[in-house]
């Protein structure tokens, strides 16, 4: 029996490799996505354009503006002449923020009072605008503090000092590249399994497989293991690219990462086999994979945090294997996550894998009869 | 067309899925984010600070006396950060010295980390202002005042859902056209039709009208959901919305035709439509990620994506109104890109037939 399964595995790997279309699908899109994602997908805010209306023409206000010029966050600082120019600058998105320096700016600064200054933000990009506002406020506060602005009498002098653990400079890539390990291996696992049965159907070899002495469970194992192998290889390539090309740290245990990756891939492969048993053509399989992948990525905590979602949807995301593996992969790479925490995220994935593989087997058997 | 389940999936299933996901699942606004407040010494002033944080709708606060109790949660990702009020905080405050409060955020999610930091800053400034007032001090703003135009409530759905209209139209306009027309090429029915006396132009027009209607219907449903279900304001003109949507949709149909003409097989067309049109519309249009922050080659690439212009136009139409300086250049750019796609289609169809 082992012998037979082994033959099937080798045959499956060769089939994937020999088919030009499968080869292209498995190699080109993931690599393209790795490089585009790793470079473009950044919520870190740099090089944005802001505008300044300076109604204080003093040395102080000019110095404050030059502070803004020195940071990489702001590349272009448009000088506005009067108030009537504020609305056009925001409306036409020439600036995501307008800083309005009031006529009393330097006088109040000299008197040790809070600066006469305001920001106007573009709500069409409120996420970016809020981050820009945060940077701008800290620049102004630091400037004021250096000029000896004291807190008003009786005020508390509490200050918030923030440090980021695990990623002190808040590098976007340290988040994106580990997430891509999860996203792209899932894509591969889905496509390899999704396409495999559909391909046999299209080529008419599926019937041959059915009349062979292989039992359905053996066929399924023969379809699962190659996808697992290809998924692990692709995952390893991204881990290595992350470490050596993108400079992402690897602080935890390699073994824990791979245990997680295997369970995760099994859960995904179950979904892929399920799609495969439904799809009649390879094109339908690709669409099916996409229909699963898009919400799985969106609701995984990759782009926006899960805690921002409504409670009922947070519960739904528990069934998403991506959500759990994302915690493991980021935890192992960036946080040196201890084994018990990894295990805690592994359990739901084991359950998901058991369910998806069982359902896939059941569907597959039914299709055979 | 309706006989193929994948066409139905693209025309109806996927748009609804995306509407649902963006309406409920994608949000940049913190909502009861779990944090730890570590109060090493339980004195009244510290209690009032912790209570101030706990009152905020943005945080779900757990109070502990020692930071070691929370560190494993930060490693596990169960909390987004912790605020540490050291034992000498109250004493320093009483002496009028600077009293630092330490915030430790989870850098493994840099975007949330930055947001948590901003919200904490605001919450603590708020608490300070109240304390000052309570102590009989003058109420005075220590940090600059901000106003957010067009989106005062700072609800990220207000800018995400308008952009979603572009994604739904890209799905229908490009993926559906690419697949269905590729199928005709595969079966040879396209060639058969092209050999009839009808001009290529007429044929293309005839092929595209149903998809145009479907795409506009998708637009109407998405806009209606955004406005009536999720309460996004619409401040522009409906006529301009219809006009600019038509230009965008025609460009997307042109792209779909171009993909199918070049690919000539459903499988390659479905791949190309996902990788070449859907992902860029989602990731490179400025909807989720700021274009100005991308490296320049990718910024340059976004200029040839119709979705980039359309997302900007939609956000402006919904939230700002009819701003000609955004709408006119964007529409012209989309028209030019669309014309280029159609030129490629016509050229390729001719050479293929000759």
What is the predicted ipTM?
0.82
Supply φ then ψ for residue B16, to 5 degrees: -65, -40
Residues A23-77 pLDDT 10s: 777 777 778 778 877 777 766 777 889 999 998 888 888 999 999 888 888 888 8
CB-based contact B27 A168, cutoff 8 Å: no
Calculate the alpha carbon distances from A250 to A211, A253, B336 in Å: 48, 8, 47
* Residue A202 contacts residue A260 (beta carbons within 8 Å): no
- pLDDT band with cut points at 50, 70 and 90 for residue A191: confident
- Which CATH number fits the domain that encloses residue A91? 3.40.1710.10
Q: Closest Cα to residue A186, out of A278, A264, A94?
A: A264
Can you tell me the distance from the alpha carbon of B6 to that of A280, in angstroms, rounded to the nearest whole number? Answer: 11
Q: What is the pLDDT of residue B145?
A: 74
Residue range A88-114: average pLDDT?
85
Residue B24 forms beta bridges with which residues?
none
> In chain A, what residues touch B268 (CB-CB under 8 Å)?
21
Residue range A287-295: average pLDDT?
88
Q: What is the pLDDT of residue B104?
A: 92
Domain annotation covers residue A22: no
Residue range A232-252: average pLDDT?
91
Can you tell me the distance from the alpha carbon of A286 to that of A306, in angstroms, rounded to the nearest whole number? Answer: 27
Domain ranges of chain B: 5-25+155-353, 33-134
In this structure, the answer to whether residues A110 and A188 fall within a common structural domain is no
State the DSSP string of A264-286: HHHHHHHHHHHHHHH-SSHHHHH
Is A88 in CB contact (< 8 Å) with chain B? yes
Residue range A205-221: average pLDDT?
80
In this structure, the answer to whether residues A221 and A138 fall within a common structural domain is no
Å from A15 to nearest chain B CA?
A: 17
CB-based contact A308 B31, cutoff 8 Å: yes
CB-based contact B148 A123, cutoff 8 Å: yes
- pLDDT band with cut points at 50, 70 and 90 for residue A148: low
In this structure, the answer to whether residues A266 and A341 fall within a common structural domain is yes
In this structure, the answer to whether residues A285 and A225 fall within a common structural domain is yes
Length of chain B: 354
Q: What is the pLDDT of residue B199?
A: 65
Can you tell me the distance from the alpha carbon of A326 to that of A329, in angstroms, rounded to the nearest whole number? Answer: 5
Q: What is the pLDDT of residue B195?
A: 65
CA quadruple A310, A311, A314, A315: dihedral sign: negative
In this structure, the answer to whether residues A219 and A77 fall within a common structural domain is no
Q: What is the pLDDT of residue A172?
A: 82
Can you tell me the distance from the alpha carbon of B259 to that of B173, in angstroms, rounded to the nearest whole number? Answer: 12
- pLDDT band with cut points at 50, 70 and 90 for residue A269: very high
Per-chain mean pLDDT for chain A: 86
Degrees, nearest 5: CA angle A218-A270-A10: 40
In this structure, the answer to whether residues A328 and A233 fall within a common structural domain is yes
Q: What is the pLDDT of residue B142?
A: 54
Is B101 in CB contact (< 8 Å) with chain A? yes
In this structure, the answer to whether residues A229 and A363 fall within a common structural domain is yes
Beta strands A97-101 and A117-122: pairing type? antiparallel
In this structure, the answer to whether residues A241 and A320 fall within a common structural domain is yes
Domain annotation covers residue A20: no
Neighbouring C-alpha atoms within 13 Å toward the C-beta of A6:
3
Please give chain B's pLDDT, 354 residues, in tens.
456 677 778 888 888 888 888 888 888 888 889 999 998 888 888 888 888 888 888 899 999 989 899 999 999 889 999 999 888 888 888 887 778 889 999 988 888 888 888 888 888 888 877 777 776 655 455 566 777 888 777 788 888 899 988 988 888 888 888 877 787 777 777 777 666 656 666 777 777 888 899 889 989 999 999 999 998 999 999 999 999 999 999 999 999 888 888 877 777 787 788 777 777 788 888 888 888 888 888 888 888 899 999 999 999 999 988 888 889 999 999 999 999 998 888 887 766 665
A17: tokens are 């490799």
pLDDT surpassing 60 at residue A340: yes
Can you tell me the distance from the alpha carbon of A21 to that of B267, in angstroms, rounded to the nearest whole number? Answer: 9
> In chain B, what residues touch A33 (CB-CB under 8 Å)?
275, 279
Residues 226-255 of chain A whose Cβ lies under 8 A from any Cβ of chain B = none
Q: Closest Cα to residue B111, out of A242, A167, A247?
A: A167
Of A39, A123, A283, the CB nearest to B295: A39
Is B42 in CB contact (< 8 Å) with chain A? no
Calculate the alpha carbon distances from A247 to A27, A114, B312 in Å: 22, 42, 34
Domain annotation covers residue A27: no
State the DSSP string of B83-111: EEE-TTHHHHHHTT--EEEEEEEETTSHH
Domain annotation covers residue A9: no
In this structure, the answer to whether residues A142 and A179 fall within a common structural domain is no
Q: Closest Cα to residue A185, out of A265, A245, A292, A249?
A: A265
In this structure, the answer to whether residues A130 and A177 fall within a common structural domain is no
Write the CB contacts of A133 (distance below 8 Å, at least 6 apart in sequence): A97, A119, A121, B118, B146
Q: What is the pLDDT of residue B310?
A: 95
Of B30, B77, B271, the CB nearest to A286: B271
In this structure, the answer to whether residues A80 and A141 fall within a common structural domain is yes
Q: In CATH, which of 3.40.190.10, 3.40.50.300, 3.40.1710.10, 3.40.50.920 is domain B33-134?
A: 3.40.1710.10
- pLDDT band with cut points at 50, 70 and 90 for residue A131: confident
CB-based contact A164 B113, cutoff 8 Å: yes
State the residue range of the domain holding A310: 169-368
In this prediction the pTM is: 0.84
Can you tell me the distance from the alpha carbon of A143 to that of B65, in angstroms, rounded to the nearest whole number? Answer: 35
Can you tell me the distance from the alpha carbon of B111 to that of A333, in angstroms, rounded to the nearest whole number? Answer: 18
Q: How many domains does chain A have?
A: 2
Q: What is the pLDDT of residue B318?
A: 93
Q: SS3 for B143?
A: coil
Of B108, B146, B159, the CB nearest to A121: B146
Is A68 in CB contact (< 8 Å) with chain B? no
Domain annotation covers residue A23: no
Q: SS3 for B312?
A: helix
């Amino acid at each position: 029996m082992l012998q037979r399964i082994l033959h099937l595995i080798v045959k499956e790997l060769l089939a994937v490799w020999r088919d030009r279309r499968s080869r292209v699908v498995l190699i080109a899109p993931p690599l393209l996505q790795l490089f585009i994602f790793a470079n473009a997908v950044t919520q870190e805010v740099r090089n944005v354009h802001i505008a300044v209306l300076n109604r204080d023409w003093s040395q102080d206000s000019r110095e404050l503006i030059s502070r803004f010029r020195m940071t990489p966050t702001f590349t272009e600082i448009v000088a506005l002449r009067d108030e009537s120019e504020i609305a056009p600058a925001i409306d036409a998105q020439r600036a995501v923020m307008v800083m309005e320096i009031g006529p009393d700016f330097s006088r109040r600064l000299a008197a040790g009072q809070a600066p006469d200054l305001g920001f106007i933000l573009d709500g069409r990009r409120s996420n970016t605008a809020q981050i820009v506002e945060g940077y701008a406020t800290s620049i102004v506060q630091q400037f004021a503090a250096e000029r000896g602005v004291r807190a008003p009498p009786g005020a508390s002098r509490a200050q918030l000092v923030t440090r980021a653990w695990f990623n002190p400079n808040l590098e976007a890539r340290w988040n994106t590249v580990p997430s891509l390990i999860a996203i792209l291996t899932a894509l591969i696992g889905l496509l390899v399994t999704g396409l495999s049965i559909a391909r046999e159907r299209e080529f008419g070899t599926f019937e041959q497989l059915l009349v062979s002495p292989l039992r359905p469970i053996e066929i399924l194992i023969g379809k699962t293991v190659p996808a697992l192998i290809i998924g692990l290889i692709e995952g390893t390539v991204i881990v290595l690219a992350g470490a050596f090309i993108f400079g992402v740290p690897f602080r935890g245990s390699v073994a824990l990462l791979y245990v997680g990756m295997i369970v995760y891939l099994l859960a995904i492969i179950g979904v892929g086999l399920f799609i495969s048993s439904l799809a009649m053509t390879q094109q339908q399989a690709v669409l099916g994979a996409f229909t699963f992948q898009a919400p799985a990525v969106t609701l995984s905590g990759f782009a926006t945090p899960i805690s921002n979602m409504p409670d009922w949807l947070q519960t739904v995301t528990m069934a998403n294997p991506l959500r759990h593996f994302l915690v493991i992969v980021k935890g192992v790479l960036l946080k040196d996550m201890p084994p018990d925490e990894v295990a805690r995220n592994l359990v739901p994935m084991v359950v998901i894998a058991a369910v998806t593989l069982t359902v896939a087997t059941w569907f597959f058997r039914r299709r055979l009869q | 067309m309706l006989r193929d389940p994948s066409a139905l999936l693209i025309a109806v299933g996927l748009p609804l899925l995306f509407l649902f996901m963006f309406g409920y699942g994608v949000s940049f606004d913190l909502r009861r984010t779990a944090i730890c407040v570590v109060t090493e010494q339980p004195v009244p002033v510290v209690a009032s600070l912790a209570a101030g944080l706990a009152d905020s709708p943005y945080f779900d606060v757990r109070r502990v006396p020692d930071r070691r109790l929370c560190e494993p949660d930060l490693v596990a990702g169960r909390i987004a950060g912790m605020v540490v009020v050291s034992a000498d905080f109250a004493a320093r405050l009483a002496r009028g010295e600077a009293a630092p409060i330490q915030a430790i955020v989870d850098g493994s999610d840099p975007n949330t980390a930055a947001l948590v930091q901003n919200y904490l800053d605001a919450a603590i400034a708020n608490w300070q202002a109240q304390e000052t007032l309570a102590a009989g001090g003058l109420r005075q703003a220590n940090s600059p005042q901000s106003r957010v135009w067009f989106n005062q409530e700072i609800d990220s759905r207000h800018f995400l859902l308008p952009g979603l209209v572009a994604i739904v139209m890209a799905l229908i306009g490009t993926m559906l056209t690419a697949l269905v027309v590729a199928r005709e090429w595969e079966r040879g029915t396209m060639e058969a039709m092209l050999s009839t006396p009808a001009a290529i132009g007429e044929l293309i027009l005839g092929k595209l009208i149903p998809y145009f209607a479907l795409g506009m219907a998708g637009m109407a449903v998405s806009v209606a959901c955004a406005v009536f279900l999720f309460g996004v304001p619409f401040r522009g003109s409906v006529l301009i919305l219809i006009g600019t949507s038509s230009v965008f949709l025609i460009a997307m149909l042109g792209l779909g035709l171009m993909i199918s003409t070049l690919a000539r097989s459903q499988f390659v067309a479905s791949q190309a439509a996902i990788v070449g049109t859907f992902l860029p519309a989602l990731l490179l249009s400025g909807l989720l990620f700021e274009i100005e922050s991308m490296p320049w080659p990718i910024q340059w690439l976004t200029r040839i994506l119709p979705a980039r212009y359309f997302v900007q136009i939609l956000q402006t139409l919904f939230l700002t109104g009819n701003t000609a300086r955004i709408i006119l250049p964007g529409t012209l750019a989309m028209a030019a890109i669309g014309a280029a796609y159609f030129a490629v289609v016509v050229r390729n169809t001719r050479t293929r037939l000759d």
